[in-house]
Amino acid sequence: MGKLISVIAALLCFVSAQTNWELVGFENENVKCIAQHPQDTSIMLISIADSIYRSADGGYSWSFVTRFWGLPVNCLTFDPLYGDTVFALIGNGSYGDGIYRSTDAGYTWDILAWFLYPLCMTIPGFPYPFMLVGCDSSGIFKSEDCGNSWESWNDGLTDLHIYALDYCSPFDSFPIFYAGTAQGLFYKSWDGWIQANGIPTDLRVSSVSHQIISNLGFAAVTGGSWSDGIYKSTDYGQNWQVVDWWIYASCVVMNRMWSSPWDTLSVFAGDSGLGIKRSTDCGATWNEVNTGLGNLYINSLSFHPEDTLRLFAATQGGLYRYDYEPGINEDITSLRGAEIEVPLSILRAGEPILVKCNNIKGSVEIKIIDAVGRKVRIDKITENTTLLKPLKRKGIYFIIFENDEYYCNKKIIVID
């Protein structure tokens, strides 16, 4: 019992204290890009110059995988459906440039196709196996067979220098794609590429992050001008407006799986020299979050697609992980005679969640969210005592009761 209390005390100290960036590897090295396995959170890949490194424990230890003969690794992307398949874009304008594929989660690699200066790619997952690769000077190429064959897809593009690709799938139909170029941003569905409004056409769009099923998206615009900054769209990428002026903004990332505009919305943006900013109100206001960050030159940011507590930053001085503050009121509140209680604040993964309720008529719908607002699931509780299904992954969660008569926020911590 004493040992358990010590563990709990240590965990509570960790939760309250670790609210900043922590160096997790490669101090003083220029980390270019990050890829996280879509199903197995223990597997990660990063690139430094011409080399790829692999972690099998969530980023705490690393092993060298391969080197590409002096050619830089520009992008790493896991297949969203078949997580052990991962792609690497290699090159800086030589005859050795191309896309490589690994089918064993990054251990071994084979050339898939030759491209000149490939910089970015996106794989929507539907229609599968559709994928795009963006190149500097030759535009966009698409494949509809897992990358075995490719064709140019540049209809409507007025600039072929591609720096960022993303997509959204809001209507259960063919995705809307986004291309950040040296001269603004373009969007495309089945028709040709169309220049988006609101982003200067003489500046580079270095990063795009769009919510998968809604109209919300963000872009980082850079070029060393007073128009640099973070831009936002609320109409599926057709029109954009600046939400924060920031010279040399380099990247932006959001939790792309937001299921509701009422969730707590977190967006992170990086800069080449000024560090990282965070918005928790859908981009309306931004605050620097540089505590613990040993290098302010940010190359890329990576959210895990399933576990949004896993946010990493690739900097010119190492790889960093962000530790979240809880950020939500955890007090138990009783309104209109209703008494709703979650007795245990700390649970083990796989342990049912006990909820006690009195004076509740019928049932109350509750929502379980993680620490950054991603909805995990919805449950229903009734009067007396309810055992909710366990949470299988460790982390910080909030049980939210919301309707006209009852309101309660309760934080729980799930440990191994």
Share of the chain above pLDDT 90, in %: 57
Dihedral sign of CA atoms 269, 278, 322, 367 in order = negative
Q: What is the mean pLDDT of residues 177-200?
A: 94
Phi then psi for residue 176, to 5 deg, are -95, 130
Look at residue 17 in the predicted model and tell me its pLDDT: 41
Position 11 pLDDT exceeds 90: no
Question: Mean pLDDT lowest for which of 10-24, 163-177, 233-247, 335-349?
Answer: 10-24
Q: In the prediction, which pLDDT does 42 show? A: 86
Which of 317 and 343 is assigned the larger pLDDT? 317
- pLDDT higher than threshold 50 for residue 24: yes
Name the more confident of 115 and 214: 115
pLDDT attached to residue 373 = 67
Question: What pLDDT score was predicted for residue 411?
Answer: 78
Using left for φ > 0, alpha for ψ between -120 and 50, and beta otherwise, residue 105 falls in: left
β-bridge pairing 139-143 and 176-181? unpaired
Q: Does residue 365 surpass a pLDDT of 90?
A: no
Q: Report the pLDDT value the prediction gives residue 400, as an integer from 0 to 100.
A: 75
- Per-residue DSSP letter, 10: H
In tens, the pLDDT along 290-300 reads 999 999 999 99
| Strand, coil or helix: 415 | strand
Please provide the DSSP assignment of 275-310 as one string.
EEEEESBTTSS-EE--TT-S--BEEEEEE-SS-TT-
When pLDDT is cut at 50, 70 and 90, the band that residue 171 belongs to is confident
What residues form DSSP beta bridges with 399?
368, 410
Q: Mean pLDDT, to the nearest integer, of 378-398?
A: 79
pLDDT, tens digit, 9 for 90 and up, residues 111-136: 999 999 999 999 998 888 899 999 99
Residue 45 has phi, psi (to 5 degrees) of -130, 145
Domain 21-322: CATH class, spelled out: mainly beta
Q: What is the spatial distance between Cα 298 and Cα 275, in angstroms, rounded to a whole number?
A: 6
Tokens of 15: 């939760």
Domain locations along the chain: 21-322, 339-415
Q: What is the mean pLDDT of residues 312-323?
A: 94
Assess whether pLDDT exceeds 90 at residue 342.
no
Q: Which helix (H) or strand (E) holds 8?
A: helix 2-17
Bond preceding residue 127 cis, omega within 30 of 0: yes
Q: What is the percent of the chain where pLDDT is above 70?
A: 83
Confidence grade of residue 375 (pLDDT, cut at 50, 70, 90) = confident
Query: Which residue(s) pair with 321 in the sheet?
Result: 22, 312
Q: How many Å is the Cα radius of gyration of the chain?
A: 22
CA–CA gap between residue 140 and residue 232 (Å, rounded): 23
How many whole angstroms separate alpha carbon 13 and alpha carbon 18? 8
Q: Which of 26-30, 77-81, 225-229, 342-346 has the lowest mean pLDDT?
A: 342-346
Confidence of residue 60 (pLDDT cuts 50, 70, 90): confident
Burial class (CB in 10 A: 0-12, 13-18, 19+), 134: buried
pLDDT band at residue 256 using 50, 70 and 90 as cut-offs = low
The answer to whether residue 277 scores a pLDDT higher than 80 is yes
Per-residue DSSP letter, 161: B
Task: Indicate if the pLDDT at residue 255 is higher than 80.
Answer: no
| Residues in the chain, overall count | 416
Ranked by mean pLDDT, the top range of 258-262, 276-280, 348-352 is: 276-280
Comparison of pLDDT for 259 and 194, the residue scoring more:
194
Residue 337 has pLDDT above 60, yes or no: no
Q: Is 64 exposed, middle or buried (0-12, 13-18, 19+ CB in 10 A)?
A: exposed
Cα gap 320→31, rounded to integer Å = 10
97 near 71, Cβ under 8 Å? yes
What's the distance, Cα to Cα, between the start and end of the chain in Å? 16
Reported confidence tier of residue 13, pLDDT bands at 50, 70, 90:
very low
**Contact criterion met (CB below 8 Å) for 56 and 37:** no
The fold of the 339-415 domain, in CATH, is Immunoglobulin-like (2.60.40)
Mean model confidence pLDDT for the chain:
85
Mean pLDDT, to the nearest integer, of 3-20? 43
Residue 308 has pLDDT above 70, yes or no: no
